[in-house]
Amino acid sequence: MKKLISGKSGLDMDNIRERIVEEAEKIEKEDLEINYMLGDNGLKAFEGAGSGLKILTHCNAGALAASGYGTALAVIRSLHKAGRIANVIVDETRPFLQGARLTAWELHQEKIPFFIITDNMAGYFMSKAEVDAVIVGADRIAANGDSANKIGTLSLSVLAGYYGIPFYIVAPVSTIDINTADGGLIPIEERNEREVREVLGKTIIPEYMQVRNPAFDIAPADNITAIITEVEVIYPPFDKNIKKIFDSI
């Protein structure tokens, strides 16, 4: 937006506002098109996986986080439309409850079968063969495939690896930072401790107890089955195959 209006000091405020709104609508349209392509490529990643799929997801990577279809939820939506989803397991996603408050709402609106669990129940359901795949989004992906996402994603990737469950990252190519070599170079935001101390305005941890609130963690590339983008489904070795994509665009 800054680039759009730079050097346009001669324009009046109405003209500047009109150009900004036009650009915003263009970005929204492009993002929605990318969301649908993510869903299509997600179907390709699950070719041969059969129907009756039980999918676990974390945080919100749906229409509320994108322009109307989502990233991780784009794949889940497309699988559902293809009649291949038996159930979606939704991590509540502490401390801010994006899964329970947002993802579950989206699934309910589209009548996609689901149930909500607390984050620390994921291993239990994996051990009972109630999870066929884990599908999550990403906020930033390093050049080697290490993926930053909502706190708790790292643990899911470890659990999935232990139980031999495919673990998929779904994100547009714009999420990949080709100039960041690995996940160790991605800064992790620590948010207000109040998010941990309170649940929906009710204090559950007293002030005299210390808390920490890192908002994200890094799923190592070695734990990731594939990264589903709008361009293609990227498989290991990620460093080589991510570079190929950027060399071609």
- Phi/psi region, residue 195 (left: phi>0; alpha: psi -120 to 50; beta: rest), is alpha
Q: Confirm whether pTM is higher than 0.75.
A: yes
| Better-scored residue on pLDDT, 1 or 42 | 42
Confidence class of residue 62 from pLDDT cuts 50, 70 and 90?
Answer: very high
Q: How far apart are CA 121 and CA 192, in angstroms?
A: 25
Please give the structure tokens belonging to residue 37.
Answer: 């392509």
72-81 helix and 13-45 helix, angle to the nearest 10 degrees: 60
Determine which one of 132, 139, 146, 217 is catalytic.
139
Share of the chain above pLDDT 90, in %: 90
229: alpha, beta or left? (left if phi > 0; alpha if psi -120 to 50): beta
CA distance linking residue 22 with residue 86, whole number of Å: 41
Query: Does residue 120 or residue 4 have the better pLDDT?
Result: 120
Phi, psi for 184 (deg, rounded to 5): -65, -15
pLDDT in tens, 93-102: 999 999 999 9
Provide the CATH topology of domain 11-248. Rossmann fold (3.40.50)
12 is catalytic: no
Identify the band that residue 162 occupies on the pLDDT scale cut at 50, 70 and 90.
very high
The yes-or-no verdict on residue 6 having pLDDT over 90 is: no
Residues 6+ apart with CB under 8 A from 142: 148, 176, 177, 180, 181, 182, 183, 185, 186, 221
Which among 149, 162, 8, 170 is positioned nearest to 77, based on CA atoms? Answer: 170
